[in-house]
């Protein structure tokens, strides 16, 4: 299977299922058997997922992508051994991050629910014009991309997490602020936006927000 078919949701589901690390293997860059050069798509997906992981508090070292040919058996063994050793040093998922199982699952699920939107943003705004590993690394680590990520994805991710909390029970602005470690003004902004979209409603009697 072409590494370009490794969907962002596959990676998030792996972590949701309790995997401590994810290793993606692809053919050497610029040696793709397909005109689409799917291994570059896999590289882009990896960079994007690492940004998501960093944003929600997961160590991005838990995700790695490596490129090699079908004849690189020894290299494959070395990469797998090295990655396994690194993951063992990091410990179980959430342990290094000092995150409870419930908190970890909620954050990953919030990101997973946004995958269709995130893929649209990636396709429309986060495509690298040049095909080289150096250019991809430079692009994904640039201030421009960091700003785009914050503007287009970070707020959506916060709202997605809030909606999952509200699915459990109604919450006041103060309670959401405490749970999410956000300023009340940020919570209000997210709730106004969600209310306008018909996602939440304000219960005047309880002074709290609930799913619409």
Contacts of 41 (CB under 8 A, 6+ apart): 3, 4
24 — pLDDT class (breaks 50, 70, 90):
very high
**Domain of 210?**
169-212
Q: What would the mean pLDDT of 4-27 be, rounded to a whole number?
A: 95
How confident is the model over 127-176, as pLDDT tens digits?
A: 888 889 999 999 999 999 999 999 999 999 999 999 999 999 999 999 99
Q: Of 40-44, 69-73, 106-110, 114-118, where does mean pLDDT reach its minimum?
A: 69-73
What per-residue confidence (pLDDT) applies to 131? 81
**pLDDT value, residue 103:** 95
- What per-residue confidence (pLDDT) applies to 82? 97
The reply to whether 209 and 144 lie within a common domain is no
**Is 164 domain-assigned?**
no
- List all residues 6 or more positions away from 62 whose beta carbon is below 8 Å from its beta carbon: 15, 20, 21, 22, 53, 87, 90, 93
Residues 195 and 121 both lie in one domain: no
Buried b or exposed e, range 16-32, using 16+ CB within 10 angstroms: beeebbbbbbbbebeeb
- Nearest Cα neighbor of 62 from 97, 102, 10, 98 is 97
User: Does one domain contain both 132 and 200?
Assistant: no
Beta strands in the chain (DSSP E): 22-26, 63-67, 200-203, 208-211
Q: Could you tell me if 48 and 111 lie in one domain?
A: yes
142 with 185, same domain: the answer is no
Establish if 83 belongs to a structural domain: yes
Instruction: Report CA 95 to chain centroid distance, whole Å.
Output: 18
CATH of the domain at 189: 1.10.10.10
Q: What's residue 130's pLDDT? A: 80
117 & 73 share domain = yes
Q: How confident is the model at residue 55 (pLDDT cuts 50, 70, 90)?
A: very high
Question: Could you tell me how far CA 116 lies from the centroid of its own chain?
Answer: 12
Number of C-beta neighbours around residue 96 at 10 A: 15
């Amino acid at each position: 299977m072409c590494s370009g078919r490794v969907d962002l949701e596959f990676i998030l589901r792996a972590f949701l299922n309790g995997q401590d690390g994810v290793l993606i293997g692809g053919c050497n860059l610029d040696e793709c058997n397909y005109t689409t050069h799917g291994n570059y798509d896999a590289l882009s997906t990896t960079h994007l997922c690492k940004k998501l992981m960093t944003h929600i508090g997961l160590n991005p070292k838990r995700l790695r992508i490596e490129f090699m040919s079908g004849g690189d058996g020894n290299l494959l063994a070395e990469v797998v051994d090295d990655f396994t050793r690194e993951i063992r040093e990091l410990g179980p998922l959430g342990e290094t991050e000092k995150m409870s199982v419930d908190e970890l699952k909620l954050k990953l699920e919030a990101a997973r629910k946004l995958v269709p939107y995130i893929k649209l943003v990636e396709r429309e705004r986060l495509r690298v014009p040049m095909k080289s590993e150096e250019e991809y690394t430079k692009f994904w680590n640039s201030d421009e991309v960091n700003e785009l990520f914050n503007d287009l994805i970070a707020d959506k991710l916060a709202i997605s997490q809030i909606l999952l909390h509200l699915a459990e029970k109604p919450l006041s602005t103060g309670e959401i602020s405490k749970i999410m470690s956000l300023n009340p003004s940020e919570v209000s902004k997210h709730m106004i936006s969600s209310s306008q979209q018909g996602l939440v409603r304000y219960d005047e009697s309880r002074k709290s927000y609930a799913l619409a």
